[in-house]
Amino acid sequence: MDRTDFEVIIIGGGIAGASLAYFLSQKGVSDIALLEREPQHGYHSTGRSAASLVEWDPIASVQQLKAIGGKFLRNPPAGFCENPLLLPSQVMLLYRGAMLGDFDATLGTLSRDGVEFAPLSHSEAIARVPALDLGGSDRAILLSADGRIDVHELLTGYLRSARHAGADIRVSTEVRGLVTDGERCVGALTDAGMLTAKWIVDAAGAWGGLVAKLANAAPIRLEPRRRTIVIFDPPSDLDVRAWPFVISEADQVYFSPESGGLLLSPMDQIPIEPCDAQPDDEIIAAAIERLRSLAPRLVPRALKRRWAGLRTFSPDSVPVVGPDPRVKGFFWLTGQAGFGIESSPAIGRIAADLIVDGSTDVFDASILSPARFFEK
Ligand X SMILES: Cc1cc2nc3c(=O)[nH]c(=O)nc-3n(C[C@H](O)[C@H](O)[C@H](O)COP(=O)(O)OP(=O)(O)OC[C@H]3O[C@@H](n4cnc5c(N)ncnc54)[C@H](O)[C@@H]3O)c2cc1C
**Beta carbon nearer to ligand X, 204 or 220:** 204
Instruction: Determine if 124 is a binding residue for ligand X (CB under 6 A).
Output: no
Instruction: Determine if 43 is a binding residue for ligand X (CB under 6 A).
Output: yes
Count Cβ neighbours within 10 Å for each residue of 7-21 and write b for 16 or more, e otherwise. Answer: ebbbbbbbbbbbbbb
Residue of the chain from 6, 23, 339, 363 that contacts ligand X (CB under 6 A)? 339
**Size, binding site for ligand X by CB under 6 A:** 41
Binding pattern for the stretch 207-226 against ligand X, x by CB under 6 A and - elsewhere: x---x---------------
Residues contacting 262, CB < 8 A, separation 6+: 231, 232, 233, 234, 240, 255, 256, 298, 300
Instruction: Determine if 17 is a binding residue for ligand X (CB under 6 A).
Output: yes
Residue of the chain from 8, 9, 15, 318 that contacts ligand X (CB under 6 A)? 15
Binding pattern for the stretch 303-332 against ligand X, x by CB under 6 A and - elsewhere: ------xxx---------------------
CA angle 51, 52, 57 (to 5 degrees): 135
The number of helices, as runs of H, and strands, as runs of E, in the chain is 8, 20
Closest CB 103 distance from ligand X, rounded Å: 22
d(CA 193, CA 139): 58
Instruction: Determine if 35 is a binding residue for ligand X (CB under 6 A).
Output: yes
Instruction: Determine if 227 is a binding residue for ligand X (CB under 6 A).
Output: yes
Are residues 188 and 179 in contact, defined by beta-carbon separation less than 8 angstroms? Answer: yes
Instruction: Determine if 16 is a binding residue for ligand X (CB under 6 A).
Output: yes
Closest CB 342 distance from ligand X, rounded Å: 4
Over the Cα atoms of the chain, what is R_g?
A: 21
Residue of the chain from 9, 10, 11, 295 that contacts ligand X (CB under 6 A)? 11
d(CA 158, CA 256): 26
Instruction: Determine if 30 is a binding residue for ligand X (CB under 6 A).
Output: no
**Beta carbon nearer to ligand X, 37 or 96:** 37
Binding pattern for the stretch 138-177 against ligand X, x by CB under 6 A and - elsewhere: ------------------------------------xx--
Point out which span in 107-115, 193-201, 340-348, 363-371 binds ligand X (CB under 6 A): 340-348
Residue of the chain from 248, 336, 360, 369 that contacts ligand X (CB under 6 A)? 336
Are residues 243 and 355 in contact, defined by beta-carbon separation less than 8 angstroms? Answer: no
Other CB atoms within a 10 A radius of the CB of residue 78 amount to 6
Per the document, the length of the chain is 376
Instruction: Determine if 249 is a binding residue for ligand X (CB under 6 A).
Output: no
Are residues 319 and 365 in contact, defined by beta-carbon separation less than 8 angstroms? Answer: no
Binding pattern for the stretch 45-84 against ligand X, x by CB under 6 A and - elsewhere: xx-xxxxx--------------------------------
**Beta carbon nearer to ligand X, 37 or 122:** 37
DSSP state of 46: G
Residue of the chain from 38, 153, 233, 249 that contacts ligand X (CB under 6 A)? 38
**Beta carbon nearer to ligand X, 197 or 341:** 341
d(CA 233, CA 238): 10
Residues contacting 334, CB < 8 A, separation 6+: 16, 202, 203, 204, 205, 208, 209, 212, 222, 312, 314, 319, 320, 321
Chain residues in the site for ligand X (CB under 6 A): 11-17, 35-38, 42-46, 48-52, 174-175, 203-207, 211, 227, 229, 309-311, 336-342
